[in-house]
Structure 1
Amino acid sequence: MLNCSSISRAAIKGYPQSAQFDGKRFTNVAPRQPLKFGEYLKMFWDLAFNKPKETVPQQQLPVQPITAETLAAAADNSVFRLGHSSLLLKLKGKYWLTDPVFNLRASPFQWLGPKRFQPAPIALDALPTIEGVILSHDHYDHLDYQTIMQLKDRVRYFLTPLGVGDLLAKWGVAEEKITQLDWWQSTDVGEIHFVATPSQHFSGRGLFDGNKRLWCSWSIITDEFRLFFGGDSGYFTGFKEIGNKYGPFDVACLENGAYDSRWADIHMLPSDTIRAFQDLQGKWLLPIHNAAFDLAFHHWNDPFKQIVALASEQRVKLSLPQIGQGVNILQPQEEAAWW
């Protein structure tokens, strides 16, 4: 168990203690499926120019605005969907954010790149006091510079995988606020136990920093509940190992969106999401990584249609709140189709 201030940047320079670090870059347990250079070029060309128009909703999605009154009235230990993988967690009376992206685009540019379908259900400056930010990896749709800059002086803790904390420090986040962990390392903040658990993904924000920072999922544990936040991942055997160590989970927030068979090793297909949920020994599945950005070729609501059908076949309890809607971790409920 690690104290929140126990890992300094100097202590982990080069990350020699990490089994995931090969001396230059971080690696997955299973190698990624190879694509030929021409296949990569075609895929990126298609992403830029050949998407169906249905990848973006043609009308505004239903959103439940989050207000101070909404949060005060919410049960303790609740999850609010902000869009994509951004969640506002009310845990033990304090508020946490996962992978917060409030910017208009998931991109290094303000004028180019995936654009939000619509604004988040609460403005950054309207957020309550945030105890901590939980980050899964460094991709633009999970780690937004502008958002972090507006949060850095208002947040007590930043929990990250190895290397991501170094990036935050470079951006000006106070080092004493940052805890960066390797897979299976953990830290306690108050009554909450956080474990950086594995995922099958990759990292990088530019042409030259590929896999220089680790990626992870998070197992969040208290004496009242167990919550899994998956970040991004392809399906892999690590889900079963996490489930055996830390399950059963009351709610598993798992990726279900921006998928394609060409990159199924790093982004789960809906059928993979169901398998991962079962491996985690989950009680309720709350799909995330959807309904905010246009990042693949499927229709924007295909993730919902597919996961509903699969969950019905497999008798999986599914919670699909609208953007802005809160869900009680201990008493989630099925929602009427809003998509």
Structure 2
Amino acid sequence: MSIFKKIMISFLLITAVFAGAVFLFLQHPTFGKAPVGKRLERIKKSPHYKKDMFDNINYTPQLAEDASMPKVMFRFLFGKNKFAKPAQKFNLNKTNLRNLDPNEDIYVWMGHSSYFIQIEGKKILVDPVFSGNASPVSFTTKAFEGSDLYSTDDIPDLDYLIITHDHWDHLDYKTVKKLNPKVKTVITGLGTGEHLEYWKYDPKKIIELDWGESFNLGNGFKVYAETARHFSGRTMKRNQAIWASFVFETPQRKIYLGGDSGFDDHFEKIGKKHGGFDLAILELGQYNKDWRYIHMMPEEFLVAAKNLKADHIIPVHNSKFELALHGWKEPLEKISILNEKENLRLITPKIGEKVNWNDDGKVYEKWWESYE
């Protein structure tokens, strides 16, 4: 046998072994499951499902027209921001969620897009990621030191677990699996329920909504699924489940839960439809001009808040994971400066801090300035 043939056989064997390893890796439950059966039949009837995938209402390239994948990859590999991660471990205190006065309305941020809300007696947890990383492997996309304050043991029984979409930094397999016994009802976008059922959630406690749909939760509580400008997917096959923002309506208040979204006219439409909001929780972070259609830039954040007619706004999607090229505290620095002109009620709590968003006299310190 010639040397060339031996090299080719060796190459093919290595390729086959690698392909087999990747295939086996992708079979792990953490990747979830694509919709099938009646769920897939319902998805195919959605006006937002086109050419075998969900799509945004307006044209939304994942990379802007003036960007290219090679350039983006080059910047990620060789253009790292030296301030992308905090130089010091965060020294933060967590609120005891299991010992709250049931009559108080509070918000607690858990870093990035994970947060807890207690409102009018209901306990809600949104997009919890407590496993220490936001990726399918534990050694990448690790939480900043000191930012991962909460574990599933700290979470009380929940009336509602809300999952805005199935990206790794919003839907965490380990966290959601452990929370299952504590969750009465899950609210999520159409298609994401397939992952949850695969992870042993009872289908009877999963509410899946398409954009524009709503569900009456009883006793004056209602949830609406509204548009977001983003995408979804836990594997190479994207957009099999819809990404959404949610409006949580109580007998007395309306809260907007923004999920991930680039800026568009949907904020104004949602604001008009619901007549404004007592509180809007919007993403601010992991942005870049190269993917500006799927993540808001700081300059757009306050415009979105005004379009939503929000009385109070809280920025999330920052201060826990490095998913972009900007400095870790740049989002909070920029929005604080931009808001000096707008003077909106911008709430910027520490991770773990208990927030009464109705207390307009409360001054929130610029906690990020204490860290490099």
TM over 0.5: yes
CA contact (8 A) 2:192 2:208 kept: yes
**2:79 aligned to 45, 50, 53, which one?**
50
The DSSP-based 3-state class of the residue aligned with 1:273 is helix
What is the CA–CA distance in structure 2 between the aligned matches of 1:89 and 1:83, rounded to whole Å? 14
**2:257 aligned to 229, 232, 244, which one?**
229
What is the CA–CA distance in structure 2 between the aligned matches of 1:117 and 1:161, rounded to whole Å? 31
List aligned pairs for 1:168-247, cutoff 5 A: 168-190=196-218, 191-207=220-236, 209-247=237-275
What is the CA–CA distance in structure 2 between the aligned matches of 1:62 and 1:221, rounded to whole Å? 35
List aligned pairs for 1:77-156, cutoff 5 A: 77-156=105-184
The DSSP-based 3-state class of the residue aligned with 1:282 is coil
Query: Deviation at 1:47?
Result: 2.6
CA contact (8 A) 1:230 1:254 kept: yes
Q: Deviations over 1:41-61 (max 9, x none)?
A: 332343345311201011123
What is the CA–CA distance in structure 1 between the aligned matches of 2:275 and 2:226, rounded to whole Å? 12
What is the CA–CA distance in structure 1 between the aligned matches of 2:358 and 2:45, rounded to whole Å? 37
CA contact (8 A) 2:64 2:289 kept: no
- RMSD of aligned alpha carbons: 2.1
Q: Deviations over 1:41-87 (max 9, x none)?
A: 33234334531120101112342212257x42476221110111111
> Which is helix-richer, 1 or 2?
2
CA contact (8 A) 1:231 1:255 kept: yes
Query: Deviation at 1:169?
Result: 1.0
- For the structure 1 residues 272 and 35, does the alpha-carbon distance in structure 2 shift closer, same or farther, using more than 3 Å as the test? closer
Identity percentage over the alignment? 31
What's 2:70 paired with? 41
List aligned pairs for 1:6-85, cutoff 5 A: 10=38, 13=41, 15-33=43-61, 39-68=68-97, 71-73=99-101, 76-85=104-113
- For the structure 1 residues 152 and 74, does the alpha-carbon distance in structure 2 shift closer, same or farther, using more than 3 Å as the test? closer
User: 11-20 or 152-161, which moves further after superposition?
Assistant: 11-20
What's 1:3 paired with? none
User: 73-82 or 224-233, which moves further after superposition?
Assistant: 73-82
What amino acid is aligned across from residue 230 of structure 2 in structure 1? H
What amino acid is aligned across from residue 138 of structure 2 in structure 1? Q
Q: Deviations over 1:273-321 (max 9, x none)?
A: 1110010001111111111111111111111111011111112111111
CA contact (8 A) 1:105 1:116 kept: no
User: 145-154 or 42-51, which moves further after superposition?
Assistant: 42-51
- For the structure 1 residues 75 and 337, does the alpha-carbon distance in structure 2 shift closer, same or farther, using more than 3 Å as the test? farther
TM-score by length of 2: 0.83
CA contact (8 A) 1:78 1:329 kept: yes
CA contact (8 A) 1:66 1:121 kept: no
What amino acid is aligned across from residue 72 of structure 1 in structure 2? L
| Higher gyration radius (CA) | 2
Q: Deviations over 1:88-115 (max 9, x none)?
A: 1112223111011101110010122343
The DSSP-based 3-state class of the residue aligned with 1:53 is coil
**1:253 aligned to 255, 277, 281, which one?**
281
- For the structure 1 residues 153 and 126, does the alpha-carbon distance in structure 2 shift closer, same or farther, using more than 3 Å as the test? same
Q: Deviations over 1:18-55 (max 9, x none)?
A: 11101400000111235589921332343345311201
CA contact (8 A) 1:114 1:295 kept: no
What is the CA–CA distance in structure 2 between the aligned matches of 1:9 and 1:224, rounded to whole Å? 39
Q: Does 1:323 align with 2:364?
A: no
CA contact (8 A) 1:225 1:330 kept: no
What's 1:277 paired with? 305
What's 1:301 paired with? 329
The DSSP-based 3-state class of the residue aligned with 1:200 is coil
What amino acid is aligned across from residue 327 of structure 1 in structure 2? V
What is the CA–CA distance in structure 2 between the aligned matches of 1:36 and 1:282, rounded to whole Å? 32
CA contact (8 A) 1:104 1:119 kept: no
What's 2:30 paired with? none
TM-score by length of 1: 0.91
- For the structure 1 residues 47 and 74, does the alpha-carbon distance in structure 2 shift closer, same or farther, using more than 3 Å as the test? farther
- For the structure 1 residues 206 and 49, does the alpha-carbon distance in structure 2 shift closer, same or farther, using more than 3 Å as the test? farther
CA contact (8 A) 2:125 2:160 kept: yes
Gaps of 5+ in 2: 1-35
